Chain A
Amino acid sequence: MRSGMTSGMNASNMFCFRRFAAMVYKEFIQMRRDRVTFAMMIGIPLMQLILFGYAINSDPRHLPTAVLSADNSPFARSIVAGMQTSSYFDVTGHLASRADADSALKEGRVQFVLTIPEDFSRRLLRGEQPVLLLEADATDPAATSGALAAMREVVSQVLVRDLPASAGYAPTPPPVTLRVHAEYNPEAVTQYNIVPGLMGVILTLTLTMITSLAITRERERGTMENLLSTPVRPLEVMLGKIIPYILVGYIQMTLIILAAKFLFGVPLRGSIVAVFVLSLVFIAANLSVGVTLSTIAKNQLQAVQMSVFFFLPSLLLSGFMFPFRGMPGWAQTIGSVLPLTHYLRLVRGILLKGNGPLESLTNVWPIALFLLAVISIGMRRYRRTLD
């Protein structure tokens, strides 16, 4: 290194390590000061690690199963016991009637219904190949495929063990006809499940982010100060901000439903009107999250970052990306708080299962509850004045 002027001139022309180091140092200081970005850098990888590593299981087990049995024979019982031990099925109860079975599936209380006919054991012993009916809620094909494969195994193993004639030989015609009905999405078309779900995902992402930005922008640009000095009331500001985005939400919904029908050929069984009406609660819930985030975020960047913090768990834990019942208990608990989880069931229920408004209500009240909770936080945080 030469001294004096020369080195100074060199430094100005060439890459100067000191300047570079100063730049790096400054970046670290700023990074540390910007808490939200820092939290995001640490939080998002952790969140993804935990969610992908532990929560997500694409081969879900312990799926709730109900049995509609008219035959109380040892064979029937050992089939049910075999299903239980396969760990794919959790037999949660016995149903009394066909109607019960239908509604349990429709409302999503169970994933499977096993129907054992009246004369099952008699016909089995006679070698008449009686029919076992396993109905699956296959709106999400990924959630049921593993269990369906396991079921065939269960049936053949149980019967090979239990049937008296079976010692020594495996019957070429299977003793039982296992009939599987994949309800609501018989061809296991993934799009049928994904497209209506996508509606919820898109609404969550855009509405939360746009509203949080819209209000933070007023504050960041200083226009909020001017606005608050006029006689306008906070509720007027809030609603005035929210209403346009409800409209945006409906436009998005319309586009997605049109695409579902005409691009992806998703069979729309239920009432579109019901979807539109009941979606209002979900849209409002997302907007309330956006408004509440905007009362916390100091600038638009933070608003976006906070929306991501809300969006990521919604995406991963709602049952959109991965079967809800495949997640461990704690993840399901978090998932059941999120509005998207219930909205997915609501929309899939109406569009794919043809649920009516009454059957849909079980999925509406958790969203409404969430909405009320978030709005009460948001209103408390929203300050009329600037302090």
Chain B
Amino acid sequence: MDADTDHSPGGGNAESNGIRDASALGDASAGAETGAPGNDKSNDGGNDKSNDGDYVIDVSGLTKSFGGKVVVNGLSMRVKRGEIYGFLGPNGSGKTTFIRMLCGLLKPDSGSGTCLGLDVLTQADEIKPHVGYMAQRFSLYEDLTVRENLDFTARMYGLPNRAEAVDACLARMGMNRFENQLAGSLSGGWKQRLALSSCTLHGPKLLLLDEPTAGVDPGARRDFWDEVHKLASQGVTALISTHYMDEAERCHRLAYIAYGDLLAQDTLEGIVDHAGLTTWSVSGPNLPELAERLRPLPGVDQVVAFGNTLHVSGQDKHLLDATLSPFLLANGQDWKLIRTSLEEVFIHLMRGQQARQNGQAAKGGGQP
């Protein structure tokens, strides 16, 4: 619990935290950032494989406030070349703000770091030509055709053989038949595909994709991810924010941010192991009643319905097992110990952070 309590006053002295992280961005501080109790193993694993200088994103202590509210709180992150880095967190947790700081749309209040080896604070203009940014909302011109939009983007980045680049892009993304259609008249999936085409047109080394697949059907999402993996295999790095757990599982590494604080940063397995949750799955009759009975019991942190099963998880394995033991013997219900899913881990992390912030707010005079 040391790491937790260490981190809890973070809102008050965010910058000093950030600077500390910057000076020793290693296992100890990364451990503190994850906010998980005494388990630094997974972070060791993450950092050991890396060698310095190959980081496409290497920032520490990035902080941004709007009107006195800290939106991103001393965030440190390292992303290696060719990595697909998933960026998760509840709505309003600062993901968009962080991404905007990386691509030069926002200036950080404090912190330091590099993006593609260029300083994020002073060299935004040099960074922009090598970054493809896809905003959360469709942000191309709805009153221009597909081709006109791509052509405009190509001009903005000063591509030499514009027409050829656009042709190649249209062909590659299978958008030839839409080329003369107004962007505004495309369906959600095709709009997203156009946006991806537009932000990859200039051959960026880094893609910053802000919830690129929100509101897109599974087929289009799969195509999208195939495309991203193809680009990653060519050495393009991608930082992708998402709310979908299945998408998170398609990333090489993940970061979880809640209410401005980075809570975890690791591989999928690392994050799940790190959280130390135990999860039981139960199937059988009367599950809704069972859920109500289980929720208030000691050691039960989450009870979630998944179709015809309930997932019951808790952090203290012994306490959870002890609590559940009478239920395991009950008739007609089938209990199984299963692997904890990412969603449970994230809910767990988010609640922990909320509790910490509420505690802090209560101490700090009830400020929300």
A residues touching B (Cβ–Cβ < 8 Å)? 221-232, 385-387
Q: Are B104 and A229 in contact (CB under 8 A)?
A: yes
Is B334 at the interface (CB under 8 A from chain A)? no
A12–B75 alpha-carbon span in the complex (Å):
53
Q: Are B105 and A225 in contact (CB under 8 A)?
A: yes
Q: Are A385 and B131 in contact (CB under 8 A)?
A: no
Interchain CB contact (< 8 A) of A226 among B106, B107, B140, B157: B140
Shortest CB-to-CB span from B222 to chain A, Å, is: 25
Given contacts A222-B137, A225-B135, A231-B156, contact A386 B125 (CB under 8 A): no
A181–B72 alpha-carbon span in the complex (Å):
75
C-beta contact mask, B344-364 vs A, less than 8 Å → 1, else 0?
Answer: 000000000000000000000
Q: Are B142 and A226 in contact (CB under 8 A)?
A: no
Interchain CB contact (< 8 A) of A385 among B106, B129, B135: B106
Q: Are B128 and A386 in contact (CB under 8 A)?
A: no
Given contacts A386-B105, A387-B106, contact A223 B100 (CB under 8 A): no
B-side contacts of A385, CB under 8 Å? 100, 104-107
Shortest CB-to-CB span from B256 to chain A, Å, is: 24
Is B103 at the interface (CB under 8 A from chain A)? yes
Q: Are B107 and A387 in contact (CB under 8 A)?
A: yes
B-side contacts of A224, CB under 8 Å? 139
Shortest CB-to-CB span from B192 to chain A, Å, is: 14
A231–B153 alpha-carbon span in the complex (Å):
10
C-beta contact mask, B125-165 vs A, less than 8 Å → 1, else 0?
Answer: 10011010101011111100000000001001110000000
Shortest CB-to-CB span from B116 to chain A, Å, is: 14
Q: Provide 15 A-B residue pairs closer than 8 Å at the C-beta atoms, listed in order of the A residue.
A: A221-B139, A222-B138, A223-B139, A225-B105, A225-B135, A229-B103, A229-B131, A230-B153, A231-B128, A231-B129, A385-B104, A385-B107, A386-B100, A387-B66, A387-B107
Interchain CB contact (< 8 A) of A229 among B64, B105, B141, B158: B105
B-side contacts of A228, CB under 8 Å? 104-105
Given contacts A223-B139, A226-B135, A386-B106, contact A232 B156 (CB under 8 A): yes
How many residues of B sit at the interface, in one of the four size bands? 20 to 34
Given contacts A229-B133, A230-B153, A231-B125, contact A223 B141 (CB under 8 A): yes
A46–B241 alpha-carbon span in the complex (Å):
50
Shortest CB-to-CB span from B106 to chain A, Å, is: 5
A224–B135 alpha-carbon span in the complex (Å):
10
| Nearest-neighbor residue (CB-CB) of B129 within chain A | A231
Q: Are A225 and B139 in contact (CB under 8 A)?
A: yes
Q: Are B133 and A231 in contact (CB under 8 A)?
A: no
A-side contacts of B156, CB under 8 Å? 227, 230-232
Complex A-B, nearest 7 residue pairs according to Cβ-Cβ distance, in ascending order: A226-B139, A229-B133, A230-B156, A222-B139, A222-B137, A231-B128, A225-B135
Shortest CB-to-CB span from B104 to chain A, Å, is: 7
Shortest CB-to-CB span from B208 to chain A, Å, is: 8
B-side contacts of A231, CB under 8 Å? 125, 128-129, 156-158
B-side contacts of A232, CB under 8 Å? 156
| Nearest-neighbor residue (CB-CB) of A387 within chain B | B106
C-beta contact mask, B194-223 vs A, less than 8 Å → 1, else 0?
Answer: 000010000000000000000000000000
Q: Are B142 and A229 in contact (CB under 8 A)?
A: no
A-side contacts of B104, CB under 8 Å? 228-229, 385
C-beta contact mask, B67-108 vs A, less than 8 Å → 1, else 0?
Answer: 000000000000000000000000000000000100111110
Q: Are A230 and B106 in contact (CB under 8 A)?
A: no
Shortest CB-to-CB span from A372 to chain B, Å, is: 27
A-side contacts of B141, CB under 8 Å? 221, 223
A230–B154 alpha-carbon span in the complex (Å):
10
